[in-house]
Structure 1
Amino acid sequence: MPGAHQFVQMDLAAGLLYAFFAFFFVLCLWLHREGKREGYPLISDRPSHPLRVPIEGFPGVPRPKVFKLKHVDPHLLNRRERDLTGLVVPADGYPGAPLIPTGDAMQDGIGPAAYAERADVPDLTFDDELPKIVPLRAAPGFTIGETDPDPRGKPVVTLDGRIAGVVVDLWVDRSEMILRYLEVEAAGAARRVLVPMFLATINSAGTVRVISVTAAQLAMAPGIAQPEQVTLLEEDKVAAYFGGGHFYATPERSEALV
Structure 2
Amino acid sequence: MATGAITEYIDIAQLVLYAFWVFFFGLVYYLTLEGKREGFPLEYDIRGETRRAIGIIGMPAPKTFHTEYFGDVTQPKDEPLEKVAARPSSYLNGAPLVPTGNPMLDGVGPGAFTKRADIPDMTSEGQKRILPGRLLGQFSVAKQDRNPIGMQVMGDDGVVAGTVKELWIDQAEVVIRYFEIETLTEFGGRRVLLPINFSRVGKEAIKVKSILGNQFASVPGLKSQDQITLLEEEKIMAYYGGGTLYATPERQEPLI
What TM-score do the two structures reach when normalised by structure 1? 0.85
The residue aligned with 2:160 is: 163
Matching residue's letter, 1:208 = I
More strand by share: 2
Matching residue's letter, 2:106 = D
The residue aligned with 1:176 is: 173
Task: Report which stretch shifted further, 7-16 or 182-191.
Answer: 7-16
1:89 is paired with a residue whose SS is strand
CA distance in 2, matches of 1:120, 1:81: 20
The residue aligned with 1:28 is: 28
Contact in 2 for aligned 1:118/1:232 (Cα 8 Å)? yes
The residue aligned with 1:148 is: 145
CA distance in 2, matches of 1:210, 1:77: 38
Matches of residues 93-242 of structure 1 in structure 2 within 5 Å? 93-127=91-125, 129-188=126-185, 189-203=188-202, 205-242=203-240
Task: Report which stretch shifted further, 63-72 or 230-239.
Answer: 63-72
Matches of residues 72-83 of structure 1 in structure 2 within 5 Å? 72-75=70-73, 80=79, 83=82
Tell me the CA shift for residue 175 of structure 1: 1.7
Tell me the CA shift for residue 184 of structure 1: 0.7
CA distance in 1, matches of 2:75, 2:139: 32
Q: Which aligned runs of 4 or more in structure 1 are off by greater than 4 angstroms?
A: 46-49, 64-67, 76-82
Tell me the CA shift for residue 113 of structure 1: 0.3
CA distance in 1, matches of 2:255, 2:123: 45
Residues 47/247 of structure 1: CA separation in 2 closer, same or farther (3 Å cut)? closer
Using the aligned pairs only, state the percent identity: 40
1:194 is paired with a residue whose SS is strand
The residue aligned with 2:86 is: 88
CA distance in 1, matches of 2:217, 2:75: 31
Residues 83/130 of structure 1: CA separation in 2 closer, same or farther (3 Å cut)? same
Tell me the CA shift for residue 60 of structure 1: 1.1
Q: Deviations over 1:198-236 (max 9, x none)?
A: 111112x14211111101112210000101100110011
1:195 is paired with a residue whose SS is strand
The residue aligned with 1:3 is: none
Tell me the CA shift for residue 98 of structure 1: 2.4
Give the root-mean-square deviation of aligned CA atoms. Answer: 2.5
Matching residue's letter, 1:29 = Y
Contact in 2 for aligned 1:199/1:210 (Cα 8 Å)? yes
Tell me the CA shift for residue 181 of structure 1: 0.4
CA distance in 2, matches of 1:209, 1:130: 32
Contact in 2 for aligned 1:168/1:184 (Cα 8 Å)? yes
Provide structure 1 residue ranges, at least 5 long, that are not aligned to the other structure.
1-6
Residues 198/93 of structure 1: CA separation in 2 closer, same or farther (3 Å cut)? same
Tell me the CA shift for residue 69 of structure 1: 2.7
Contact in 2 for aligned 1:77/1:119 (Cα 8 Å)? no
Matching residue's letter, 1:30 = Y
Task: Report which stretch shifted further, 61-70 or 98-107.
Answer: 61-70
Provide structure 2 residue ranges, at least 5 long, that are not aligned to the other structure.
1-6
Tell me the CA shift for residue 95 of structure 1: 3.7
CA distance in 2, matches of 1:201, 1:53: 44
Matching residue's letter, 1:141 = Q
